[in-house]
A = this chain, B = another copy of it.
Amino acid sequence: MPKYHDDLDAVLRALADPTRRAVVERLARSPAVVSELAAPFSMALPSLMQHLRVLEDAGLITSEKHGRVRTVSLRPGALDVLHLWLDEQRTPAERQADRLGIHLTRTNPKET
């Protein structure tokens, strides 16, 4: 699956930077305009725009311009590729623990 692995490469590289992760964390709450995203960082706007471009190229965010205001959103399902890969890496012991957890939820719904 070369497409899947290319996507993962891009997503992981994009997220391997604390500023870009902070942008994703902010957008997970709600869309935001660029000036709002820039506010918490002591960073020149062109540098932030460069980070946004990396996130957009990785398929993590989308943006839309209305007049002079650009609104940035987390793309729905943006992190699915990473969830999927992580799920596949669960070790046999973790899978067993998960099955036990599901079993307990089903048999003792009140106690969970």
Contacts and interface: CB of A to CB of B under 8 A. Distances in A.
Interface residues of A, number: 32
A91 B102 CA distance: 23
Report copies per complex. Answer: 2
B5 A90 contact: no
A10 B21 CA distance: 13
Contacts of A21: 5, 8, 85
A18 interface: yes
Interface in A55-112: 74, 76, 79, 82-83, 85-86, 88-92, 102, 105-107, 109, 112
Interface of A: 5, 8-9, 12-13, 15-18, 21, 24-25, 28-29, 74, 76, 79, 82-83, 85-86, 88-92, 102, 105-107, 109, 112
